[in-house]
Structure 1
Amino acid sequence: MTNNNKTPSTVTFGNNRLSIEDVVALAEGRAKAALSDDADFRQRIAKGVDFLDRELRDHGHIYGVTTGYGDSVLRRVPPHLVDELPLHLSRFHGCGLGAELSVPASRAVLAVRLASLCSGYSGVSIELLELLNAFFAHDITPIIPEEGSVGASGDLTPLSYIAAALVGEREVMMGGERLPADAALQKAGLQPLTLRPKEALAIMNGTSVMTALMCQAFMRAQYLCQISTRITALATIALHGNPAHFDARLFAAKPHPGQARIAANIASDLAMLGDGYQPARLQDRYSIRCAPHVIGVLADMMPTFRTTLETELNSANDNPLIDIEDETILHGGHFYGGHVAFVADGMKTLIANIADLMDRQMALLVDTKFNHGLPSNLSGSSTDRASINHGLKAVQIGVSAWTAEALKNTMPASVFSRSTECHNQDKVSMGTIAARDCLRVLQLTEQVAAALLITVRQAMVLRLEQGSITRDQLGDDIAAFLDDLGRDIAFIDEDRPLEGTLRHLVARIGARHWPLYSEGSAEK
């Protein structure tokens, strides 16, 4: 549904199935949101509301409508207080702490929750869906603290900040300005919502925060596969590595498709080295020779991660659900985020392994015992000033620190389930914590990748100056990539602070700045 052009595409919520790319395009402001005008879709939403109204009128007993929540299910709510109950749910969950989600992350949460509610199983009104959609049109984003969810009964506390914004409570961002929600709604010409009996529960009881965060993580992991592949190719050239390690015949003998594709991309980057090129070793060290086997595991798992996340994205994941065909209320546990937690825990481990791979590659490049004739720490200083210049020595220490922290954060979150809420929520997914861990590991690994971009660019300039590699041996893609890097990274001939350059490169990686490899996807 989305495209990569500058003209924003439209993501339509209704009967359509959404992709990870749709969510991220909305999060990043590259797409507009629209609510379907399809008559069948709108009729389905209306039927759910009508059925709940009749059920309440005829039988007067519905979980979360005429009862308390969770362990308080045995507490009956008298008719004169039913209308107040949803507002209380949104208010007592307003206890989130920690850092606030970024605006793109919060927009992703809005998109994922709107997609779930549009499935027609939640019993919410079309007015609620239209107001959520209007938040995109008016650039209104609820401010959501990232801590406070155990991932079942869904992301209750963080999603309460969406419910609160809809009724004009708490704070939002609007056009880059922090405002009280009621002021933002007034400025946009929108009326605060009066929550119907089940609507707060429908908004809050689901997996939308963890799923939204992992949609963002997915796109970043996909790009990380590509940038670490290009870094490996440059490290191989700079170390006078052996291109034969990436021979297609090797990977036909162990035919994991993602692994083979990573090897093929590296081989393509090295293709112009030619028959006259002499590698320094018959067999390179593992961080070069086995790079496709490390990066390739993530590449091979990405289709599975996509299937799992997009199934969750396009699901009804609150409780209870409404079957409008049979006019039945179904009580279950679809708010449980186990599948998303598994993706997050699995993905972060594979990403941290790539951080470790790049850390080892840098160690080879800066050490004169292993780099086959490059200067110590890749310093580009003149001989008479070498004694006071230290090149990338401190950057390597930083890379080691970032890698160690990434590896430390690979402890699976899902196994730390905690019984809570009077033992009603006695087995929970920890999916949102797992997703936050995954994003932290990604951030640290992107920092390692930024440092490696400085490293391989410095090493390649030194090799070209030595004449041990010529520009003609690089090929058009590698040469153009190095030229682009040169506009961001100045040659290091004298020691200087590199924080600004590192931060700039991290931003470049986050924005997927460099188009890499023709397939454009780590999972094709």
Structure 2
Amino acid sequence: MPLSPDPRPLAIDGRPLRIEDVVATASGRARPALSTDAGFQARINRGADFVDRLIAEDGVVYGVSTGYGDSCTVAIPPALVDELPRHLYTYHGVGLGRFLDPEETRAVLLARLQSLAQGVSGVSLALLQQLEALLAHDILPLIPAEGSVGASGDLTPLSYVAAVLCGEREVWHQGKVKPAADALAAHGLKPLKLRPKEGLAIMNGTAVMTALACLAWRRADYLGRLATRITAFNVVASAGNAHHFDQTLFAVKPHAGQQRVAARLRADLASDRPPRNEQRLQDRYSLRCAPHVVGVLEDALPWLRAQIENELNSANDNPIIDAEQEMVLHGGHFYGGHIAFAMDSMKNAVANLADLLDRQMALVVDARYSHGLPANLTAAAGDRAALNHGLKALQISASAWTAEALKLTMPASVFSRSTECHNQDKVSMGTIAARDCLRVIELTEQVVAALLVTVRQGVALRRALDGGAPMSAAPEAMLADLASRLPLIVEDRALDVELRQLLAAIRGEAWSLYAD
């Protein structure tokens, strides 16, 4: 996605950012700009100056005058200290897998910039300005997604950021892959020469997993809202019981998110009438218990936000350089355990949305359970009905996507591996957890696309059959929009193009869902 022609400025001055700031930057709707405040800039430079003084005074600083990791006992001759940062990003050039997409890459650049802007990483203002310039000119390092164990941070993927700052490796720029040096030169930028602590400061942090987590959070929040709206449509399509979401009923089980989902369903269904089928007092769980399923994610989102934003606004490299107190503090802030747990938790809750909707679809396409709707929701009539198969194949695909999402819910964080001569002997796997979570979200979005086809077809057939139940203005408007995108399926047709269009609409948040 190209940058917006008029992005809003986003001040980077060490103060906290929110997930929405990362999402806006990733989509090109915001452009980070370093503060010009003299106090902020002086604070940044004091850290770099303190590191320089330590080196001049023969101070021993990990990764500055020593080797890295298990090699911390190896002293670097003073004449070679300046070469060490380049060696760090060079030997970490071992990433494989897909490249992060442009939105993910912008998010990574912002996450690293925000961490370094806390002013305790011992880097110069020039380094922050070079990161700012990459974002301003949309010079996006090609970052392989695989190769990080999540401690010491995202070393391998972030090595590609460090190399690009120095004019090495490749970038995505103006719609093409090109050498980083060429893209920098096109905007009058010179390759950076990293100061002694700067290679470590760029790479030894959690920017990749945190960036991906920010994007995952936003998509998961929207999926929860879509799953709620789709449930309301399926209640109508299957002539279900709207009283399952009664306010008094939910008052006695006071999970706030679950209550919020029930309230959204009540607002969508806007029905005080008794069940259409008085012999069927209770719908199956995938309808009746929808607030209890979606509500788990809804209740988790605030906690997930807190963990992600805490990491986003942290200094998460090693060592920490406190120039004010003239202290060098060696620790493990690069450890991505909170992001790992958040992503493992999120992917579980999101996969349950896919499972819920898959079950709803299985009921509404089955003539034994759909209370009068045709099998597979085919709209063909007469002799043509026998020839047409409606949503039969789509239900199979939705089941496949759901199964794959559920398979990926195994927590990545429990698969710690001892690496790097047993120096990194307990690692977070946070980046793998974040990638897994995004894949679960992607699969769930595909299930949601299938369900949008299903509810458009199901509600139309219900209303043609017996009038169906009315809904409030917002879901009726969404139904009308779906009808404009999806002609009723009478004769069998391939749906892949329409599904991809629906996926784009989902990821673009095409429908406004609930104002609470």
- TM-score grouping bracket, smaller chain normalisation: over 0.9
What SS does structure 2 have at the residue aligned with 1:172?
Answer: strand
Moved more, 249-258 or 289-298: 249-258
Partner of 1:474: 471
* Bigger Cα displacement from structure 2, 55-64 vs 320-329: 55-64
The match for 2:460 is: 461
3-state secondary structure, aligned to 1:196: coil
- Asked if residue 9 in structure 1 is aligned to residue 8 in structure 2, the reply is yes
Q: Deviations over 1:147-175 (max 9, x none)?
A: 00000000000000000000000001112
Q: What letter corresponds to residue 493 of structure 1 in structure 2? A: V
What corresponds to 2:340 in structure 1? 341
Match of 1:67 in 2: 66
CA separation in 2, counterparts of 1:316 and 1:258?
32
2: CA distance, partners of 1:111 / 1:233: 38
Q: Provide the residue aligned with 2:88 in structure 1.
A: 89
Q: Which moved more, 1:8-17 or 1:286-295?
A: 8-17
Residues 342-381 of structure 1 mapped to structure 2, 5 A cutoff: 342-381=341-380
Shift in Å, 1:401: 0.4
Aligned to 2:483: 486
Which residue in the other structure is 1:522 paired with?
Answer: none
Report if the CA contact (8 A) 2:242-2:275 is conserved: no
Aligned match of 2:496: 499
TM-score after normalising by structure 2: 0.98
Q: Report the Cα offset of residue 506 of structure 1.
A: 1.1
- Which amino acid counterpart does residue 398 of structure 1 have in structure 2? S
Q: Which residue of 1 aligns with 2:309?
A: 310
1:286-325 Cα offsets, whole Å, 9 max, x none, are: 0000000000000001000001000000000000001112
Residue correspondence of structure 1 range 263-412 to structure 2 within 5 A: 263-271=262-270, 273-275=271-273, 278-279=276-277, 281-412=280-411
* Counterpart Cα distance in 2 of 1:274 and 1:24: 40
Q: Distance in 1 between matches of 2:334 and 2:31?
A: 27
State the distance in 2 between where 1:91 and 1:6 align: 35
| Displacement of 1:276 | 7.0
Report the Cα distance in structure 2 between the residues aligned to 1:274 and 1:257, rounded to whole angstroms.
23
Secondary structure, counterpart of 2:424 in structure 1: coil
Asked if 1 retains the 8 angstrom alpha-carbon contact of 2:123 and 2:197, the reply is: yes
Partner of 1:175 in structure 2?
174
Kindly indicate whether residue 132 of structure 2 is the aligned counterpart of residue 133 of structure 1: yes
Distance in 1 (CA, whole Å) between partners of 2:319 and 2:369 is: 62
Structure 1 residue 494: Cα displacement? 0.5
Is it true that 1:250 corresponds to 2:255 in the alignment? no
Task: Give the counterpart letter for 1:278 in structure 2.
Answer: R
Q: Distance in 2 between matches of 1:64 and 1:440?
A: 35
Check 1:462–1:178 CA distance in 2 against 1; reply closer, same or farther (3 A cut). same
Aligned Cα root-mean-square deviation (Å): 1.2
Give the distance between the partners of 1:15 and 1:436, measured in 2 at CA. Answer: 27
* % same residue: 60
Taking the aligned partners of 1:130 and 1:17, their CA distance within structure 2 comes to: 19
Structure-1 residue corresponding to 2:30? 31
SS at match of 2:287: helix
Letter in 2 for 1:101: L
- Post-superposition offset of 1:61: 2.0
Superposed displacement of residue 8, structure 1: 2.7
| CA deviations over 1:100-129 (Å, ceiling 9, x no partner) | 100100100000000000000101100010
**In 2: Cα distance, 1:456 partner to 1:285 partner:** 17
**Aligned amino acid, residue 261 of structure 1:** R
Give me the whole-angstrom Cα distance separating, in 2, the residues matched to 1:232 and 1:71: 54
User: What secondary structure is seen at the aligned counterpart in 2 of 1:329?
Assistant: strand
2:152 — aligned with what?
153
Amino acid aligned to 2:187: A
Cα drift, residue 490 of structure 1: 1.5
Secondary structure in 2 matching 1:67: coil
- Following the alignment from structure 1 to structure 2, what is the Cα–Cα distance between the partners of residues 184 and 17? 31
Deviation string 1:14-63 (CA, Å, 9 cap, x unpaired) is 13210000011000101111000112211111110111111110124211
What is the distance in 2 between the residues matched to 1:6 and 1:34? Answer: 16
Distance in 2 (alpha carbons) for counterparts of 1:222 and 1:385:
42
In the alignment, structure 1 segments of 5+ residues that lack a partner are 520-524
1:103 and 2:106 matched: no
TM superposition shift of 1:7: 5.3
**Deviation (angstroms), 1:279:** 4.3
Secondary structure of 1:348's counterpart equals helix
Retained in 1: the 8 A contact 2:258–2:296? yes
Tell me which residue corresponds to 2:209.
210
Secondary structure of 2:373's partner? coil
Separation in structure 2 between the aligned mates of residue 432 and residue 189 of structure 1, nearest angstrom: 34
Q: Cα distance, 1:337 vs. partner?
A: 0.2
- 1:18 corresponds in structure 2 to 17
Q: Which deviates more from structure 2 when the two are superposed, residues 9-18 or residues 353-362? A: 9-18
What's the secondary structure of 2:501's corresponding residue? helix
Unpaired segments of 5 or more residues in structure 2?
A: none
Distance 1:76 1:477 in 2: 67
Query: Any idea what SS the aligned residue of 2:145 has?
Result: strand
1:262 aligns to 2:275 (yes or no):
no
**1:419-458 to 2 correspondence within 5 Å?**
419-458=418-457
Read off the aligned partner of 1:509 and give its amino acid letter.
I
Q: Is the contact between residue 241 and residue 275 of structure 2 (CA under 8 Å) also seen in structure 1?
A: no
Partner Cα distance (2:16, 2:208) in 1: 18
Amino acid of the residue matched to residue 86 of structure 1? P
CA drift of 1:277 comes to 6.2
**Residue matched to 2:511:** 514
Q: Deviations over 1:56-82 (max 9, x none)?
A: 101242110111100011111111111
One-letter amino acid of the structure 2 residue matched with residue 171 of structure 1? E
Letter of the 1:485 counterpart: L
How far apart, CA to CA, are the structure 2 residues paired with 1:515 and 1:87? 48
Are 1:240 and 2:261 matched, yes or no?
Answer: no
- Code of the residue aligned with 1:504 in structure 2: it is Q
The residue matched to 2:121 in structure 1 has which SS?
Answer: coil
Confirm whether residue 222 of structure 1 aligns to residue 213 of structure 2: no
Q: 2-side partners of 1:277 and 1:202: how far apart? A: 62
1:168 is aligned with what amino acid? G
The AA in structure 1 aligned to 2:283 is: D
Distance 1:360 1:235 in 2: 11
Corresponding position of 1:78: 77
Instruction: Please give the per-residue CA displacement for 1:373-427, whole angstroms capped at 9, x wherever unaligned.
Output: 0000000112211111000000000011000000000000000000000000000
